[in-house]
Chains A and B, each alone.
Chain A
């Protein structure tokens, strides 16, 4: 924090001294505001219940305790929820990838009529109110006996994971140098052979990133899970935690809720640490590169 206050010499220096200091101050305040809830949530989850409910909050947990994590990991419903979340979000990612990889490649490489309209169609499905997809799916799935099953939830999640996946994958395919493919054709490979032997292996990081993106989208959802899942064997962890957070005595168990929250945040954090660059590619897929 100290070092960034030192301004660098060069042409970047401009504006009055007061302006520059004010600008630094605004930067620091905004960054602190963004980082603080992370730190405070993590710190509080490591405090004893006495320290959490103390009139004078302490900055650091002393002593550090894992009792809240123990609570979360021994809470049968929450653990079952985590299992459900992993299965359903993982299956959603796989389904979205399977459906979308071919379409994204087609949109990035092939030429045919109405391509722009087809693209617009895929993009615009992102703009539909999710509740307006979830309600009729509930009616349809009730008849098909898909409510309260993994499959029903996966199909529901795929309705918002797939549009994202198409856009993101198309970006990766379009960024792949066409010359590499062409040289494969020269060597006598068919277009599909070139796709499977040349493009696919090289594009794997992008595909994994897109899959993780879809995974996180499904992992975070409440709406579809609340409508399409009911029993403990299907309901995902986000809903379990939200129900715990709104239960009658939730106010006495902030430590446990925060520990559960830290656990629920971990997959996305691991994703971020391993594939930061691709994550940003996903976030910009819709607006900047549309």
Chain B
């Protein structure tokens, strides 16, 4: 920052020295408002939640009925015969979503990184789902997939692909694939925009040289695109995995964790036990479990991938 300009006047040099002496102080001072907010409204609540997960709090007895409970909440969770279902749902939801989002986002980024007519228009279309609030995504897709009046059933039946109408989001065998397709649709903009930015950072000359050397399209993808895109790919995948694991809004708007808990993830369960069954501390403990799972996952992922960025 304090670059040396040869034509520096003595006055400028003095100014810069003064600036660099005081800049650490001013820099830290500028951080204080944000730092205070984060400490009070994010860090303290998280610590409070961890503490809360070792307490018992039943809202029907009032907010002051907090009492120590040891590992009671965690024991209660693992004593629930359905805890494996909730964990399984979380895994399906998280990894099912991320694989499709990153895969399709990469495919679209590659397809739309070529020189094609009206390219900004096509790129704009891919961004569209980001604009739609999760609640609206759920309404529109539930309308498309509606068992009685949905356009999808109409088209599939006319094409002779299915014989009878399917309630896509309530039928157990079609529920998850429907949820995941909607999740892919909603999240493609994020992976697309980031991976496209990553692709555009790869120097054109590398491809030109490879073409001269007679490398096939596949070879160029394997040997140039993929290795150079790797840092972005690694970060996008990690961010999406973490966000998706505790995502609440879309899944809640789509199914509310139903039917009969079949699409309940840990994030949904945490809300439901906390505010439908008023076991607030129990809800916090499930959130803590989720956070612990994701910390372990992130640690393993970083080690395996040897994050060097």
Listed in ascending order, the chain A residues whose CB lies under 8 Å from chain B are: 3-4, 6, 8, 10-12, 14-15, 23, 26-27, 30-31, 33-35, 37-38, 40-41, 44, 52-54, 56-57, 98-100, 102-103, 105-107, 109-113, 118, 121-122, 125, 127-133, 135-140, 142-143, 155, 158-159, 162-163, 166, 178, 185-186, 191-192, 219-223, 226-227, 238, 241-242, 245-246, 251, 254, 257-258, 260-262, 264-265, 268-269, 271-272, 276, 279-280, 283-284, 286-288, 290
Which of B38, B43, B104, B131 touches A265 (beta carbons < 8 Å)? B131
- In the complex, residue of chain B having the shortest beta-carbon distance to the beta carbon of A255: B143
B interface list, Cβ under 8 A from A: 1, 9, 11-12, 15-16, 19-20, 23-24, 26-28, 30-31, 33-35, 37-38, 41-46, 48-49, 52, 57, 63, 104, 107-108, 111-112, 114-118, 122, 124-144, 146, 148-149, 151, 154, 185, 188-190, 193-194, 197-198, 211, 217, 232, 235-236, 239, 242-243, 245-246, 248-249, 252-253, 256, 267, 270-271, 274-275, 280, 283-284, 287-288, 290-291, 294, 298
Q: Which residue of A lies closest to B25 (CB)?
A: A112
A242/B135 in contact, CB under 8 A: yes
| Interface of B (DSSP majority class) | helix
Chain A neighbourhood of B122, CB < 8 A: 4, 27, 31
User: Which residues from chain A contact B138 at a C-beta distance below 8 Å?
Assistant: 242, 245
- B115: nearest residue on chain A (CB-CB)? A12
With both chains docked as a complex, state the minimum distance between the C-beta of A21 and any C-beta of chain B, in angstroms: 13
Q: Which residues of B contact A125 (CB under 8 A)?
A: 38, 42-43
- The listed residue (B20, B140, B256) touching A41 by CB distance below 8 A is B140
Please classify the interface of chain A as helix (H, G, I), strand (E, B), loop, or mixed, using the class held by over half of its residues: helix
Measured in the bound complex, the distance between the Cα atoms of B104 and A26 in whole Å is 11
**B41, A137: Cβ atoms closer than 8 Å:** yes
Cα-based distance from A223 to B140 in the complex (angstroms)? 20
Q: Is B28 touching A135 in the complex (CB atoms < 8 A)?
A: no
Residue of B nearest to A53 (CB): B149
Q: Are B131 and A110 in contact (CB under 8 A)?
A: no
Complex: A109 Cα to B243 Cα, angstroms: 29
Give the residues in chain B near A238, CB-CB below 8 Å.
133-135
From B129, B132, B188, B252, name the one whose CB has the most chain A CB atoms within 10 angstroms.
B132
**A128 touches which of B42, B63, B108 (Cβ 8 Å):** B42
Contacts of B49 in A (CB 8 A): 132-133, 135-136
Q: Contact: A37 with B38, CB < 8 Å?
A: no
Q: Given the known A-B contacts A131-B267, A245-B138, are A4 and B15 also in contact in the complex, defined by CB atoms under 8 Å?
A: no
A210 CA to B112 CA, complexed, in Å:
26
Partner pick for B45 among A127, A140, A284, CB 8 A cutoff: A140
B272 to chain A, nearest CB (A): 10
Q: How long is the Cα–Cα vector from A127 to B41 in the complex, in angstroms?
A: 15
Give B41 Cβ to nearest chain A Cβ, in Å.
5
Q: Which residues of B contact A271 (CB under 8 A)?
A: 131
Give the residues in chain B near A37, CB-CB below 8 Å. Answer: 129, 132, 137, 140-141, 144, 185
B149: A residues at CB distance < 8 A: 52-54, 57, 254
Q: How far is the CA of A30 from the CA of B128 in the complex (A)?
A: 13
Contacts of A283 in B (CB 8 A): 130, 189-190, 193-194
Expressed in whole angstroms, the minimum distance between the Cβ of A80 and any Cβ of chain B is 16
